[in-house]
Structure 1
């Protein structure tokens, strides 16, 4: 990953923080300042890198999830990281630092390459009185906490690396309908309907299959229970063109779908549709925002691609 890609990734995360969206990307860690002591930082980096299973991870120093951009002294990295690195056993993740100016402050982005996992850290108390007999640990990140890796975690590290595709949201629409019937008499449910246009880039030449039953969409509205979609569909995007009459054709030659899954053979654009029962909102919430979370779990994968966006609650139609 080059400097421009690292900066773009970091700025997308910072924009989410500024807009009040919680960061749910398990590959990203936000820190308002340099972690001390350095042994704690080494353990946290190692746990994050081990759980990432080959994916790059990004740390943003100088960003607080609640307060936004705080900024840090970028020069402190020169003395901080060598000490952190000294607590690793034999090998630490390769780090690429990048200083990013944001709102007249400096955020330090640290990209760690994790393809050489597992990473072990030293027990700083080993050898001292009461320090115990454990010299080395394989840390593991679970949600936002760090624990010692279990046997099942080690087994996951020994399996082939799981490279998730890159998925970008190009366009999004949220609509609401009131229960009734359409012009031909078919029943229309009372629902929220989400439409997304996505661009998918596989990380390797392997074919990707995403079964619809492994996809979920959450509709989060402040003050009411979260609604989960039980109806998600993916299909190749279509394009309309032509002179003297419009024609529609498949928008991508590398993607096809069935009634039950989408099959991705290369980069291309796809459409996602999901629906859930429309909640009854009190008047004070009619102008609220809806936070959308999308999980796409491909066949054979143990973790999903996670997408998030925020859309205004739609007017009923």
Structure 2
């Protein structure tokens, strides 16, 4: 169907939809249904809600990266200078991208020419309104849920086709060559191939629910030394038990002003929140007679997040303190004080799974009460 001149896929609603948290105590026992928060989408019993602000921030950063002679390094994002006119070929490419994403969100950015590093004229609404139904007919049984977002950047406007892939595998019809009428495509690098048995099995096995991560009061700071520091409260919203091994965590920070946009790796540390009684202690007494950890930090919640040397054991929704630091090289340090914006990426792979908790944010310079430079979450994008 078409809504506001753009192709729109209507979600399939259940008769039972979970109410917002402030209304849940009013519901009768057994009336609630399962809710998941997964990356940029919130899935409520079959209905899909996309956080378009996060998508727009991500697309703006990707456009800047390409225009500044870079390339897209995300396996689940493709740039298209123009829409693929061959509908069957387009369906095969989308199915391959959606199958290899294995439940993660994926997208096409139309109007971004990665080879020539520029923004070109994006497809208009009428063209997409006719194009997507024709592509959808080339899928066998089911196509990925898709929404279209027009994103305006300072380099020009691009059209984003955002795909939800949690109902893979996706099949496309063929022209019956050699007696084959259906295919499961798979994306390998920049090529589209037929899925192997191992790749099909990776789609069909049970997938792990990915917790949602929200950073509360995140701040980047620079005190004039070689180190860039970060601190925040990390809130994990989880519906199932997962383990995040510490040796697989990664965080990186990058600025446009840094030569060749060289990313700075940051070493992260997680710990429980400080006890209120410890925060009120006299600093001199703490330094001369350090208390044991049991008096410094809150005790682990068996139904929340447990902090271990090996990583995080997430049994339910909870928050922990997150700090990080990275040592800059000479070129990075020379430009850090003049940097108006930073972009940061976090990846927390899940144990015994090929999925991960991923986060991407942009930070802007902010006036600090101290002599240190600081950057806070850019909530104006």
Same fold (TM over 0.5): yes
Which of 40, 48, 65 is residue 89 of structure 2 equivalent to?
40
Matched, 1:11 2:56: yes
Within 2, Cα distance between the matches of 1:15 and 1:39? 30
Any idea what SS the aligned residue of 2:347 has? strand
**In structure 1, distance between residues paired with 2:72 and 2:272:** 29
Distance 1:214 1:274 in 2: 15
1:266 aligns with 2:316: yes
Q: Which of residues 47, 53, 63 is equivalent to 2:102?
A: 53
Which segments of 5 or more consecutive residues in structure 2 lack a partner in the other structure? 1-41, 283-295, 366-371, 374-381
Report deviation, 1:42.
0.6
* Matches of 2:145 and 2:261, distance apart in 1: 44
- Deviation string, structure 1 residues 64-93 (Cα, Å, up to 9, x no partner): 665458543112223212221232233322
Corresponding residue of 1:233: 269
Q: How does 1:216-255 map to 2 (within 5 A)?
A: 216-220=250-254, 221-223=258-260, 228-229=265-266, 231-237=267-273, 254-255=304-305
1:159 CA displacement:
0.7
Unpaired stretches in structure 1, ≥5 consecutive residues? 179-189
Over 3 Å counting, the alpha-carbon distance change for 1:3 and 1:212 in structure 2 is closer
Counterpart mapping for 1:91-130 below 5 A: 91-95=142-146, 97-100=147-150, 102=152, 108-124=159-175, 126-127=176-177
Q: Distance in 2 between matches of 1:15 and 1:282?
A: 23
Report the CA distance shift for 1:88/1:196 in structure 2 as closer, same or farther (over 3 A).
same
Question: 1:181 — aligned with what?
Answer: none
Q: Secondary structure at the match of 2:92?
A: helix
Mean alpha-carbon deviation: is it higher for 66-75 or for 248-257?
Answer: 248-257
The structure that is helix-richer by fraction is 2
Report what 1:280 is aligned to: 330
Equivalent residue, structure 2, for 1:150: 196
Do the aligned partners of 1:74 and 1:108 also contact (CA within 8 Å) in 2? Answer: no
Question: Equivalents in 1 of 2:274, 2:72: separation in Å?
Answer: 32
SS at match of 1:281: helix
8 A Cα contact 2:259 2:331, kept in partner: no
Q: Please, what is the CA RMSD of the aligned residues?
A: 4.3
2:77/2:108 contact within 8 Å kept: yes
Say whether 1:77 aligns with 2:107: no
d(CA) in 2 for partners of 1:81, 1:237: 49
| Whole-angstrom CA distance in 2 between matches of 1:158 and 1:52 | 13
SS of 1:34's equivalent in the other structure is coil
Q: 1:54 to 1:245 in 2, by over 3 A?
A: same
